[in-house]
Amino acid sequence: LQCPEPELPSNGKIIIKSSSGSNQLASSSSSSSSSMFNQSLYLVGDYIQFGCRKGYRLIGSDIITCLHTEQWSSLPPKCK
């Protein structure tokens, strides 16, 4: 079971934490949202921790988890 690739918020950064223990860092380079984590599989139990670039505030949950329903536990947050 796996979840679809979520969007990286504008002016955001993430750390992908896999259930196998590996981590991957990504950040958006523009003011628009993108799906570009370069990770093809998000397995049940994997989670993503979000943050914002300096000067921006996170709106929403800072962590989303891939659930057994093949959906994320919540929508990705925004950076405002």
Give the pLDDT confidence score for residue 3 in this predicted structure: 94
Give the pLDDT confidence score for residue 8 in this predicted structure: 86
Element (H, E) at 59: strand 58-59
Give the pLDDT confidence score for residue 27 in this predicted structure: 66
Helix, strand, coil proportions of the chain in percent (round to 5)? 0, 40, 60
Distance between terminal CA atoms of the chain? 33
| Mean pLDDT (whole number) for 49-71 | 95
Q: The dihedral of CA 28, 34, 39, 41: what is its sign?
A: positive
Q: What is the pLDDT of residues 8-57, one digit of tens each?
A: 899 998 888 877 667 766 666 555 555 545 566 889 999 999 999 999 99
Is the full-model pTM beyond 0.85?
Answer: no
CATH number among 1.10.238.10, 3.30.360.10, 2.10.70.10, 3.40.630.10, domain 2-79:
2.10.70.10
Per-domain residue ranges for the chain?
2-79
CB atoms within 10 A of CB 3: 20
